[in-house]
Structure 1
Amino acid sequence: MKNNKIMSLSVVIGAVLWCLAAWVVQQFGFSVFNGNDANMFMMLLSSVPSTLVFLWLIKLLVKKTYSQLFEPVVIITTTATLLDGIAMTYFREIFYHSQYLISLRGAAWILWGVGIALLLSYILVPKSEKLSVKKTSLAVILGIAFWLNGAIVINQMGDYILTDNNNLRSVGLLIAIPVTVITVIIAKYLLGLPYSKMVKPIVLMTLTATFCDTIALTWFQSLYSNSTDIAFHGAALILWGAGLGLLIAYYLEKVSIQNAK
């Protein structure tokens, strides 16, 4: 299958998986995302085998080997997280749930799923194409640092821009674009890599941050806000930022490779 067709198909798969995840939150949220820690833990645990099944299905659809699934999975998760960021910000009651706690835990579960999908796809990458141990460690540290920075921003600014029916939430989504570009640039220089090799470290940073976000949003919500609606809109902004980071890194990598030819 040609690259353009794989990209288009991956975008479609990402949209379908976004719809499926939103449907799960909407239909089963009251039963599994109602604040019961045991139920939430089981949902997080079950994400691993379910993601493995999705990877198998993706492999069949894009007609690639497991070691070639990294790029399709990046496109799929980019699509899904961007759609989540928009839908959670503007259409929560339509696509997710009317109760903020259920929507918040649903968002945490989705973030976890994104991290699992990216992690498994990276594990499947041939060893010769992986980052060195040093750069992998640095990417993980940067992921934790940027996660912490995001949590602090939400904690300090949430009351002003992330309250329900606040038009400044749209401003937050727009501001996230240049902020994410700057983040990618900073990561590039700290890692000492060209743009043509930045997708993998951004993926490692993103999956690290999503794991941290899932744990914090589920069990340490006060790191973001004591208000559930602010924490939820913070989660929406996080998902949007995760998608932007993957998209920008992917775009810069492709342009860099194209210009080098």
Structure 2
Amino acid sequence: MLARRQILIVLSLGMTLWLVFTLAIRWTPFLFDQGLLNALLYLVSLPAAWLLVSLIGRVAGLAETELLSGIALAICAASLCDGIGVAWFSTLYGSDPDHHRLGAAYILWGAGVFLLIALIRSQRAMRHTGDSPPLS
């Protein structure tokens, strides 16, 4: 179970990372044209997500076995922000509706990647400690 301090940290980091990625989408529309750069962005995001999961875990003081819970809370905060942003503040993502769609898709995909990485790392840690993994 996460401590209150850890919960506040991961929620704050989730919202902060959402804002950073949203502004990056706004300022780099050329990465979201469904071309080669867009594909490379998705590819480069895999190791970057691994590092960001590690950073969130370290800043929040999460044990490897707590990563899934912590990242799930961070993703929850980011997803709530993204839903509100897309629905009512879509110009945060830029001026082109296609750009909004592609940017929102990237954030949604990134959320899944973060959760998958946290699940893999939590399962590995639980196997090493003898606890039952969440999915067996």
**TM-score, normalised with respect to structure 1:** 0.48
Alpha-carbon offset, residue 167 of structure 1: 2.5
Amino acid at match of 2:31: I
Deviation of 1:231 (Å)? 1.1
Out of 142, 145, 153, the residue aligned to residue 16 of structure 2 is 145
Contact kept in structure 1, 2:6 and 2:62, CA below 8 Å? no
Q: Residue in 2 aligned with 1:259?
A: 128
Using the alignment, how far apart are the partners of 2:100 and 2:9 within structure 1?
28
Deviations 1:174-195 (A, max 9, x none): 1211111111010011011221
2:62/2:70 contact within 8 Å kept: no
Q: Is 2:29 the counterpart of 1:135?
A: no
CA RMSD across the alignment: 1.1
Larger RCO: 1 or 2 (CA < 8 Å, sep 6+) = 2
Match of residue 188 from structure 1: 57
Matches within 5 A, 1:85-234: 129=1, 131-158=2-29, 160-163=30-33, 165-234=34-103
Number of residue pairs aligned between Structure 1 and Structure 2: 130
Which of 236, 246, 253 lines up with 2:115 in the alignment? 246
Name which one, 1 or 2, has greater alpha-carbon Rg: 1
Percent same amino acid among aligned pairs? 28
**Aligned residues of 1:147 and 1:212 also touching (Cα < 8 A):** yes
For residues 134 and 192 of structure 1, the distance between their equivalents in structure 2, rounded to whole angstroms, comes to: 9
1:235 is displaced (CA, Å) by 0.8
Gaps of 5+ in 2: 131-136
Gaps of 5+ in 1: 1-128
Question: For residue 135 of structure 1, what is the amino acid of its counterpart?
Answer: Q
1:18-46 superposed Cα distances (whole Å, 9 cap, x missing partner): xxxxxxxxxxxxxxxxxxxxxxxxxxxxx
Q: Whole-Å Cα distance in 1 between the matches of residues 47 and 23 of structure 2?
A: 18
Q: Secondary structure at the match of 1:193?
A: coil
SS in 1 for 2:62: coil
Report the AA paired with residue 195 of structure 1.
Answer: E
Q: Give the TM-score taking structure 2 as reference length.
A: 0.90
* 1:31-110 paired onto structure 2 within 5 Å: none
Structure 1 moving runs of 4+ over 3 Å: none
2: distance between equivalents of 1:222 and 1:178? 29
Deviations 1:149-171 (A, max 9, x none): 1111101112x1102x4232211
